[in-house]
Amino acid sequence: MGRAAGRRPAGRAGPAAQPARGEVLARASAEIDIAGTLLEQAAARADEGPVDEQVVARNLRDVALAVESAVAAVERLFRTAGVAAQQEDSVLQRAWRDVHTLGAHGALDWEAAAAEYARTHPTAPAC
């Protein structure tokens, strides 16, 4: 028997890889749920008013963190999915491209959102 005889066909993960994939899926889905909750809360604050600069800064912070979490989740899923995720017709490839485009938007920059939050919440306890 040659060296390749014991190998699995391409795209088939061995039993040891299955728990790792489950962990990636669980973490990514939790990160996406957290991002969704942050976005819902930001929308509720904006809709329910009054909206002052502290509310705006908090919403910027929450939306930037939600996008950062979504990018991390999709990135993790994309890496775990392997080469198949890179096909043009892959739903995951499309999600990866879309979320990275969103994450590159200047208005969603985490550092800028954090600085604005700190500026408008000067009495917040220092870490």
What does the pLDDT read at residue 97?
A: 92
**How many residues are listed for the chain in this entry?**
127
Please state, in angstroms and rounded to a whole number, the distance separating the CA atoms of residues 44 and 23: 32
The gap between the terminal CA atoms of the chain, to the nearest Å, is: 61
| Rounded mean pLDDT, 105-114 | 92
Please state, in angstroms and rounded to a whole number, the distance separating the CA atoms of residues 89 and 123: 50
Place 17 in a pLDDT band, splitting at 50, 70 and 90. low
What does the pLDDT read at residue 127?
A: 58
* Percentage of the chain lying above the pLDDT 90 cut: 65
Q: Which residues of 34-57 are buried (b: 16+ CB within 10 A; e: fewer)?
A: ebeebbeebeebeeeeeeeeebbb
Distances in Å between the Cα of 81 and the Cα atoms of 18, 24, 37 are 12, 10, 26
Place 88 in a pLDDT band, splitting at 50, 70 and 90. confident
What's the chain's average pLDDT?
85
